Amino acid sequence: MTPTFTKTGDVEVLLELTCRRLEKVVDYPVTYNYVVDFDAGSLHVEFLRRMIENPSRQVNAFAEFKLSGFPGNTSFLVSTDQWVSHEYRNRRIGSVLTALKECLATAWGVRYLIATVNNGNDHELKLLANLDWTLVDLPDMPVKLAYHSVNRTTITI
Ligand SMILES: CC(C)(COP(=O)(O)OP(=O)(O)OC[C@H]1O[C@@H](n2cnc3c(N)ncnc32)[C@H](O)[C@@H]1OP(=O)(O)O)[C@@H](O)C(=O)NCCC(=O)NCCS
């Protein structure tokens, strides 16, 4: 059983709010795309430049992430594929995306977000530690397990 990703007002509002937040960083209009894979129970979100003059023109995303349902238990959501374009790193976009994921998890009634992070990926590890994620060393594995208990009352983007 995996979470059902529906196109609800809440999700759209959260994505729009995130666009407004990201515009302050990248200094151009931002829009989003998202793809729901109902079979896999996953959601892929990307943020990209909104072309006001030519809205149909495709431009590359500058930030993205993926959330997937955990097989067999709707209390967990797995976060993967977080990425921020090189030119915008260290400007808190990754932190904003992670806060958004926490908001989405709250909207869907999820209790825990989980992820793995390569040992040595100090940037992502610092980002998650800043946002109070718990990092667990796994014996004989080159990755840490990262998890976050979703706090339903204090999340802001
Ligand atoms: C990891 C990634 C998503 C971070 O995105 P970002 O927008 O640059 O992250 P932020 O700006 O929010 O950075 C968060 C913190 O990391 C810190 N940081 C930056 N580089 C760092 C480094 N080399 N080592 C440790 N901390 C670092 C920042 O200073 C900031 O902490 P602070 O607020 O205490 O100063 C981005 O670097 C990326 O796309 N990397 C490649 C893909 C990847 O590794 N994804 C994660 C897979 S698990």
More confident residue, 156 or 130: 130
How do the domains of the chain map onto residue ranges? 9-50+61-149
Q: Which CATH number fits domain 9-50+61-149: 3.40.630.30, 3.40.50.300, 3.40.50.1010, 3.30.43.10?
A: 3.40.630.30
pTM of the model: 0.92
Judge contact between 150 and 141, C-beta under 8 A.
Answer: no
Tell me which of 21, 79, 113, 127 to substitute to probe ligand 1's pocket, judged by most ligand atoms within 8 Å of the beta carbon. Answer: 127
Which atom in ligand 1 lies closest to the alpha carbon of residue 81? 47
Is any atom of ligand 1 closer than 6 Å to the C-beta of 92?
Answer: yes
Backbone angles phi, psi at 144, to 5 degrees: -100, 150
**What's the distance, CA 33 to chain centroid?**
13
Is any atom of ligand 1 closer than 6 Å to the C-beta of 84?
Answer: yes
Q: What pLDDT is recorded for position 39?
A: 79
More confident residue, 152 or 13: 13
What separation in angstroms does the CA of 135 have from each of 52, 89, 151?
Answer: 42, 22, 17
Q: How far apart (Å, rounded) are the C-alpha atoms in residues 43 and 27? A: 26
Q: How far apart (Å, rounded) are the C-alpha atoms in residues 46 and 104? A: 14
Q: What pLDDT is recorded for position 48?
A: 96
Backbone angles phi, psi at 12, to 5 degrees: -60, -40
